[in-house]
Amino acid sequence: MEIKSLLNILPILIISLSILILILIEAFHKKSEIFIYWITILTLIFTTFLSLITIQDQSLNFHDTIESGGITNLFYSLLLIISSLAVISSKNYLNRMQYHHGEYYILVMSAILGMMLMASSRDLMLTFLALELMSLSFYVLAGYHRKVLFNNEASVKYFLLGAFASGFLLYGIALVYGAAQSTNIIYITREFDSLLNKPLFTLGLILLLIGFSFKVASVPFHMWVPDVYEGSPTVVTALMSTSGKIAAFSALIISLYGSTASQINYETVSKIIALLATASMLLGSIVALTQTSLKRMLAYSSIAHAGYMMIGVAAANKIGMAGIIFYLAVYGFMNIGAFILISMLETSMEKRLTLDDLSGIYKTYPWFSAVMALFMFALSGIPPFGGFFGKYYVFISAVKADMTWLAVIGVISSVIAAYFYLRVVIYMYFRREGENQNLYATAAENFIITVCVLFVIQLGITPGVFLNIITRFLP
């Protein structure tokens, strides 16, 4: 019985084991970072295949604590593919910053372990531990270059606000436990309707939501996003803005719906989520208009995207759930592409890229600007690319759940957001050439960008394929 459970959670075990091995290698060998880099990538690729192969056999392990197979493995493979893209790009970036050390990969791997546990956890205790594992690794990664003040500052802000938010999350869990007498998510979601009569439970749920809203970077805990995204090393930003969001949303979806999606009727909570979604969409899109720093602009756009995804959570129906997962996948690929393109222009960690640095860049680097324009179109949701269908499914779910107003606000905010995405394109193509820019492109970066472009286009041209896969595994 327990042996079978261990076999079922093999992807998690492999990642954990490789972390331990990497720590030993790092401790006993000087200059082992290249070696560690390759081991990390091979482990990630192997685990991705493993979780794709075992996607069919769904089961609950260790007394309903960890789920394996099905939607969990879908999340695994999504997280692993996107994180490995970020890892592949790290080597050149860190070499250029002259701060390439083995512990970077160890920290990234433990963050990935936390994210995978978040996606598979069916117990609030494990969810909390996994979330902390991910966050603690990210706090350190945000301040990875400890001699650069930007990194220090990002990491202090991230740490203080993150710990503050996990206090709220924990208090929420405590109250939910007090009302339900159990921390098991499957049990709690089964008893949802009767529990909602208890004020303690509703309060706990709201605190839980506030705590999660920090991790998914939506209102009310969004203040950290621009500062941390801008201050951290760009490869780390790429990782935490994509995989971090996917993991946090998976945990949010699971703790609200458990395994019994779409039968729950919870109006108060749904209204609160709708409000959070509205606030993050509008705030993200409007404040991004005033930003000139590229990473800061993408950070506000990330807040807005969290808002769009929250629409799917608020709608609480099957198409909403499938829409969120689809959106997360597309968002992951286009955002990681955009951040890695930005990282290719960076010469040092102190330099912050602004829109002016992109002006007229299409003359020197036509491919760079074409791909950047593609990601910007995709992020703003222009039809032939995947971003459009992500938004489409989420809005449809809101209309089906009788929340048409939410979809309308979503559309309005996408229109506002189009302005600042297209402004990047305008700077690249219609401004006079600025100072000479250097583009540090190697085979690794070209590979990642190609993968991202292919996925974004593929998800935009044949969205049904991926959507069918998602709906097949949804309960």
Partner 1 sequence: MIPLSFYLILSAAFFSIGVIGVLTRRNAIIVFMCIEMMLNAVNLSFIAFASFFGDSSGQVFVFFVMAVAAAEVAIGLAIIIALFRNKLTINIDEINILKW
Judged by beta carbon, residue 100 or residue 157, the one nearer partner 1 is 157
Judged by beta carbon, residue 182 or residue 471, the one nearer partner 1 is 182
Min dist. Cβ of residue 410 to partner 1 (A): 27
Bridge pairing between strands 66-68 and 59-61 = antiparallel
Min dist. Cβ of residue 239 to partner 1 (A): 18
Judged by beta carbon, residue 33 or residue 123, the one nearer partner 1 is 123
Task: Give the whole-angstrom CA distance, residue 432 versus residue 211.
Answer: 46
Judged by beta carbon, residue 177 or residue 375, the one nearer partner 1 is 177
Judged by beta carbon, residue 226 or residue 258, the one nearer partner 1 is 226
Min dist. Cβ of residue 356 to partner 1 (A): 18
DSSP state for residue 58 in the 8-state scheme: -
Say if residues 387 and 456 touch (Cβ distance below 8 Å): yes
Min dist. Cβ of residue 160 to partner 1 (A): 6
Interacting residue ranges for partner 1, rule: CB under 8 A: 125, 128-129, 132, 136, 139-140, 143, 146-150, 152-157, 159-160, 163-164, 167, 170-171, 173-175, 177-178, 181-183, 223, 226-227, 230-231
Min dist. Cβ of residue 183 to partner 1 (A): 6
Judged by beta carbon, residue 49 or residue 164, the one nearer partner 1 is 164
Please compute, for residue 190, the number of CA atoms within 13 A of its CA located in the half-sphere on the CB side: 8
Min dist. Cβ of residue 232 to partner 1 (A): 10
Q: Which of 292, 238, 224, 240 is nearest to 93 (CA)?
A: 238
Judged by beta carbon, residue 210 or residue 279, the one nearer partner 1 is 210
Min dist. Cβ of residue 285 to partner 1 (A): 18
Say if residues 254 and 198 touch (Cβ distance below 8 Å): no
Produce one character per residue of 359-380: b if its CB has 16 or more CB atoms within 10 Å, e if not: bbbbeebeebbebbbbbbbbbb
Produce one character per residue of 250-286: b if its CB has 16 or more CB atoms within 10 Å, e if not: bbbbbbbbbbebeebebeebbebbbebbbbbbbbbbe
Token pair recorded at residue 291: 């930003």
